[in-house]
Amino acid sequence: MARRSRHRLLLLLLRYLVVALGYHKAYGVSAPKDHKVVTAIEYQEVILACKYPKRTIAFRLEWKKLGQSVSFVYYQQALQGDFKDRAELIDFSIRIKNVTRRDAGKYRCEISAPSEQGQNLEEDTVTLEVLVAPAVPSCEVPNSALSGTVVELRCQDREGNPAPEYTWFKDGIRLSGNPKLGSQSTNSSYTINTKSGTLKFNTVSKLDSGEYSCEARNSVGYRRCPGKRMQVDDLNISGIIAAVVAVVLVISLCGFGVCYAQRKGYFSKETSFQKSGSTSKSTTMSENDFKHTKSFII
């Protein structure tokens, strides 16, 4: 009995699978094909391929660009948008004559055609990666620096794809990634980060004075920024000492002047009070004398 029940259960499962496959084929819900990735260099041409076994009379073809919002590339037997002027349809594939970085993304072609079981739908997905050469990188080089200090030079490009690597040049000569193997005209205290584009001097010296430029390079191309000069000077100890001595002398002279003025009584409150008191007394006496004289005459 147990064997018979298992046999019946297997038959039911097989029937369910057959019905499900028939429904799947009749209504065109077919499994997608393998995902493909196509790379192209910017401003060159690329073909987005959509493979289909045979061309039928009553087929319908659509190309869509996927993303946050789906947009039509080929719809109702016509290319859409800016693809009208720079693309063409070859069988089921699309040839873009002048690809740009804005074209990068995921595309899907959909082909529906009648079949014996009903309407059949085929889908093919392609991801387009656009390779972009670097632009002229922006370089940050200080005009001057003091020897013995930490100095960092920066170089960056925002357009290259894939992300570029950076190389620094001093007076037109490439700086080695290993400072100890570099030329004798540069000290060995610097480090170069080829990924971030920084050139860092832990203790810069006068030997590091010169014109610096940076190059950004990837698999598509390379660009270099104009050279900028960095002047490294020693710290002027004698000048600092002379300035300190001058400040001390000025302060000493000011203090001596204040002491001299106090000794002479220029800042004495008592003297000024006495002067004002004597003035008021003389004024009062003159008024009394005037009254006395007037009464005497009368």
Predicted confidence (pLDDT) at residue 14 exceeds the cutoff of 50: no
Q: What is the dihedral of CA 4, 9, 14, 20, to 10 degrees?
A: 160
Confidence of residue 16 (pLDDT cuts 50, 70, 90): very low
- Supply 229's token pair: 């000069």
- Supply 41's token pair: 């260099």
Pairwise CA distance, residues 59 & 121, whole Å: 10
Q: Classify the C-alpha dihedral 115-116-118-121 as positive or negative.
A: negative
Count of Cβ atoms closer than 10 Å to residue 34 Cβ: 6
Confidence of residue 57 (pLDDT cuts 50, 70, 90): low
Half-sphere exposure for 94 (CA within 13 Å, toward CB): 32
- Supply 60's token pair: 């319908």
- Supply 170's token pair: 């001093």
CA distances from 6 to 15, 20, 74, 89 (A): 14, 21, 52, 55
Eight-state DSSP code of residue 203? S
Q: Which residues, listed in sequence order, are joined to residue 215 by a DSSP beta bridge?
A: 167, 224
Predicted confidence (pLDDT) at residue 297 exceeds the cutoff of 70: no
Predicted confidence at residue 245, as pLDDT, reads: 67
111-115, 190-194, 265-269, 284-288: which range is least confident on average? 284-288
pLDDT in tens, 201-242: 999 999 999 999 999 999 999 999 999 999 999 876 665 676
Count of Cβ atoms closer than 10 Å to residue 160 Cβ: 22
CATH of 138-233, one of 2.60.40.10, 2.170.150.20, 3.60.20.10, 3.30.450.40: 2.60.40.10
Cβ atoms 96, 48 nearer than 8 A? yes
**More confident of the two residues 48 and 275:** 48
Predicted confidence at residue 127, as pLDDT, reads: 96
Q: What is the mean pLDDT of residues 38-65?
A: 85
Predicted confidence (pLDDT) at residue 272 exceeds the cutoff of 90: no
Predicted confidence at residue 35, as pLDDT, reads: 72
pLDDT in tens, 150-198: 999 999 999 999 999 999 999 999 998 776 655 555 566 899 999 999 9
Predicted confidence (pLDDT) at residue 291 exceeds the cutoff of 60: no
Cβ atoms 199, 175 nearer than 8 A? yes
The DSSP element (H or E) to which 62 belongs, if any, is strand 60-66
CA distances from 48 to 113, 241, 252 (A): 21, 74, 86
CATH of 36-131, one of 1.10.10.10, 3.40.50.150, 2.60.120.260, 2.60.40.10: 2.60.40.10
Predicted confidence (pLDDT) at residue 45 exceeds the cutoff of 90: yes
Q: Where are the domains of the chain?
A: 36-131, 138-233
What's the mean per-residue pLDDT of the chain? 78
**More confident of the two residues 183 and 94:** 94
Cβ atoms 114, 23 nearer than 8 A? no
Of the candidates 159, 161, 158, the one whose C-alpha atom is nearest the C-alpha of residue 128 is: 161
- Of all residues in the chain, what percent carry a pLDDT higher than 70? 66
Predicted confidence at residue 17, as pLDDT, reads: 44
SS3 171: coil
Predicted confidence at residue 254, as pLDDT, reads: 76
Confidence of residue 114 (pLDDT cuts 50, 70, 90): confident
Do the bridges between strand 190-193 and strand 228-233 make them parallel or antiparallel, or are there none, so unpaired? Answer: unpaired
Do the bridges between strand 222-224 and strand 210-217 make them parallel or antiparallel, or are there none, so unpaired? Answer: antiparallel
**Residue partners of 208: CB distance under 8 A and separation at least 6:** 145, 151, 170, 186, 187, 190, 201, 230, 232
Pairwise CA distance, residues 45 & 38, whole Å: 11
Q: Are 36-131 and 138-233 in the same CATH fold?
A: yes
Cβ atoms 134, 159 nearer than 8 A? yes
Predicted confidence at residue 196, as pLDDT, reads: 95
